A and B are shown apart, each in its own frame.
Chain A
């Protein structure tokens, strides 16, 4: 089975901190995605990548950046964390087919 691993399950950070969320997949998938999930708003796409060193903005990229230096790793960076970035963050990967495999999520709280 494809495995997508997110480095932390729960994270608490202070306002203004730089936050790194790491995601690693082990099945050589080209496509990787970062979503955030909030009650009543569903999953919203932050950034995605179809190849190493490639990145595209999703629907809500403001306040975030990403890095994909290696095919298996896709990092989400909160440059200066704010309380409105408190959320569940989900990483996903896929080959050139539509089925995503999600990581188990990181619940980030910014205080």
Chain B
């Protein structure tokens, strides 16, 4: 099993829609998780951190399910500017310094 697995998509949704991505991880000892956003031909940038059950920031909600070993990212009221690839990130073996990246989920928000 890969350390981090994501549905690659693409997810094509209309503006205003709610969309959710899941990410599964294999290391049950992982304590912290992250979502990064990567725009086309740009570098990844940190979007949200998830340390306990979840985190909310405006239209974005990240949730953690330790029992099933997955994290999710929910985007409400999608905007055109949300179009990007969303990378799920897990520190291996409890270390927060080196990160393992999922291969990303591509989202396109359509007008």
> Which of A's residues lie within 8 Å of B, judged by CB?
31, 33, 35, 40-43, 45, 48, 50, 58, 90, 94, 96-100, 102-105
**Do residues B43 and A103 form an inter-chain contact, with CB atoms below 8 A?**
yes
What are 30 contact pairs spanning A and B, CB under 8 A?
A: A31-B97, A31-B98, A33-B98, A35-B101, A40-B8, A40-B103, A42-B87, A42-B102, A42-B103, A42-B104, A43-B44, A45-B100, A58-B98, A90-B44, A94-B97, A96-B96, A97-B96, A98-B32, A98-B49, A98-B91, A99-B34, A99-B46, A100-B36, A100-B44, A100-B46, A102-B43, A102-B44, A102-B45, A104-B42, A105-B42
**Do residues A99 and B49 form an inter-chain contact, with CB atoms below 8 A?**
yes
Main secondary structure of the interface of B (DSSP, over half): loop
Q: How far is the CB of A29 from chain B (nearest CB, A)?
A: 10
**Are A42 and B101 CB-contacts (below 8 A) given A99-B34, A102-B43, A103-B43?**
yes
Most buried by B among A40, A50, A100: A100
Residue B17 at the A interface, CB < 8 A? no
Residue B99 at the A interface, CB < 8 A? yes
C-beta contact mask, B71-111 vs A, less than 8 Å → 1, else 0? 00000000000000001000100001111111110000000
In the complex, which residues of chain A have a beta carbon less than 8 angstroms from the beta carbon of B102? 42
**Are A98 and B42 CB-contacts (below 8 A) given A42-B103, A43-B87, A45-B98?**
no
Q: How far is the CB of B60 from chain A (nearest CB, A)?
A: 16
In the complex, which residues of chain A have a beta carbon less than 8 angstroms from the beta carbon of B49? 98-99
In the complex, which residues of chain A have a beta carbon less than 8 angstroms from the beta carbon of B36? 100
